[in-house]
């Protein structure tokens, strides 16, 4: 082997750079596993006959103090950026779209599909982002991206075929459509948040968005059950705490820190932990079966999304 190749292989400066990424990789992996726990916790809450409106309201109310505290801290910093009325309206609207409308569609869909399929359908949102970019920003779809779209949705179909054999699945297509609606609304959120995240910072943007979404969540719960959120068994409130802290607050801030360390492009690769973790957690905590066809569908979806998100 030539000497210059040996030097390149044994060059010590690369080792510290690689080691410096390890904390970010671990942070993002933990964040994605925490996000994956969301569907598991919601399905456990449904076992106590909790309605969807109450689940959303409890999640937001339990998470609210954490986001308010962080928002107050960030507002008091010397580098705080003052927002215009247009900024407030836009951030509030995007927050309601993501944390209220998307959540409602997602939580409703979880009544009909397994946690693994829910996560897999949600994971298709980059394909919707691509389509929205074509519609709103006149971007062209390449041949590779067309192939990725086809591959992704072939994988989704395989996952649904596997799901059909999972016991008594009521209204499977309805559940899938609701979760896909969640993916669509979340894709809109992703496409139009860039300007405001860049202006105020991702942590502050998330805090303001969640605070804004709390109001319609609680109001709808009030119309639905008269604000009677405190008649459930104790286990429901324990699960609500887990849903708010472990599956909402913690991962939203871990994602920000992880992306800061490893970069946005690398974070997309680590995001592939999510669907796999959901399947595993669903098997352990919900007794959801894992079949070869489901694993094939998952692998195909991940491959399609990988073609859209990976960079050389």
pLDDT in tens, 67-92: 999 999 998 988 888 889 999 999 99
Q: How many residues does the chain have?
A: 312
Rounded Cα–Cα distance for residues 36 and 270 (Å):
13
Q: What is the mean pLDDT of the chain?
A: 88
pLDDT digits (tens, 9 = 90+) for 181-229: 999 999 999 899 888 888 888 889 999 999 999 999 999 998 888 888 9
Give every CB contact of residue 66 below 8 A, 6+ residues apart in sequence. 244, 245, 249
Instruction: Answer yes or no: is 299 within a domain.
Output: yes
0.85 surpassed by pTM: yes
Rounded Cα–Cα distance for residues 31 and 262 (Å):
14
Instruction: Answer yes or no: is 213 within a domain.
Output: yes
Which token pair is 267? 């974070």
Instruction: Answer yes or no: is 56 within a domain.
Output: yes
On the question of pLDDT at 170 being above 80, the answer is: no
pLDDT at 161: 86
Instruction: Answer yes or no: is 94 within a domain.
Output: no
Rounded Cα–Cα distance for residues 157 and 305 (Å):
15
On the question of pLDDT at 299 being above 80, the answer is: yes
Instruction: Answer yes or no: is 32 within a domain.
Output: yes
The DSSP annotation for the chain comes to --HHHHHHHT-TTHHHHHHHHHHHHHHHHHHHHHHHHHHHHHHHHHTTT--HHHHHHHHHHHHHHHHHHHHHHHHTSTTPPPPPHHHHHHHHHHHIIIIIIIHHHHHHHTTTS-HHHHHHHHTTHHHHHHHHHHHHH-PPPPHHHHHHHHHHHHHHHHHHHHHTTSS--TTHHHHHHHHHHHHHHHHHHHHHHHHHHHHH-HHHHHHHHHHHHHHHHHHHHHHHHTT--S-S-HHHHHHHHHHHIIIIIHHHHHHHHHHHHH-HHHHHHHTTHHHHHHHHHIIIII-----HHHHHHHHHHHHHHHHHH---
On the question of pLDDT at 2 being above 60, the answer is: no
pLDDT digits (tens, 9 = 90+) for 222-251: 888 888 898 899 999 999 999 999 999 999
Range of the domain at 199: 26-76+111-226+244-309
Instruction: Answer yes or no: is 262 within a domain.
Output: yes
Instruction: Answer yes or no: is 20 within a domain.
Output: no
Pick the range with the lowest mean pLDDT from 161-170, 189-198, 240-249, 264-273. Answer: 161-170
Return the closest-CA partner of residue 209 out of 93, 81, 60: 93
pLDDT at 312: 43
Phi, psi of 81, rounded to the nearest 5 degrees: -100, 125
Instruction: Answer yes or no: is 203 within a domain.
Output: yes
- How many domains does the chain divide into? 1
End-to-end CA distance of the chain: 26
């Amino acid at each position: 082997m030539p000497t210059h190749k040996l030097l390149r292989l044994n060059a010590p400066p690369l080792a510290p750079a690689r080691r410096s990424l390890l904390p970010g990789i671990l942070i993002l992996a933990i964040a994605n596993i925490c996000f994956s726990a969301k569907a598991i916790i919601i399905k456990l809450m449904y076992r106590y006959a909790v309605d969807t409106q109450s689940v959303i309201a409890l999640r937001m109310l339990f998470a609210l103090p954490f986001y308010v505290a962080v928002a107050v801290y960030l507002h008091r910093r010397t580098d705080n950026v003052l927002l215009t009325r247009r900024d407030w309206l836009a951030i509030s609207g995007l927050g309601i779209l993501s944390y209220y409308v998307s959540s409602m569609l997602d939580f409703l869909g979880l009544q009909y599909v397994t946690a693994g399929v829910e996560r897999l359908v949600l994971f298709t949102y980059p394909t919707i982002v691509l389509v929205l970019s074509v519609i709103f920003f006149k971007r062209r779809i390449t041949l590779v991206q067309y192939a990725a779209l086809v591959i992704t949705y072939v994988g989704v179909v395989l996952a649904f075929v596997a799901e059909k054999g999972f016991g008594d699945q009521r209204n499977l297509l309805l559940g899938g459509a609701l979760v896909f609606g969640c993916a669509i609304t979340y894709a809109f959120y992703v496409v139009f948040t860039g300007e405001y995240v860049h202006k105020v910072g991702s942590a502050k943007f998330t805090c303001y968005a969640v605070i804004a979404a709390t109001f319609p969540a609680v109001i709808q719960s009030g119309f639905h059950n008269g604000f009677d959120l405190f008649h459930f068994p104790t286990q429901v409130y324990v699960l609500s705490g887990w849903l708010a802290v472990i599956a909402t607050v913690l991962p939203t801030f871990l994602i920000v820190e992880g992306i800061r360390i490893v970069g946005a492009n690398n974070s997309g690769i680590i995001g592939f932990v999510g669907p796999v973790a959901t399947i595993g957690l669903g098997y352990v905590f919900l007794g959801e079966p894992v079949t070869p066809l489901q694993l094939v569908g998952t692998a195909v979806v991940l491959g399609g999304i990988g073609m859209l998100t990976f960079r050389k």
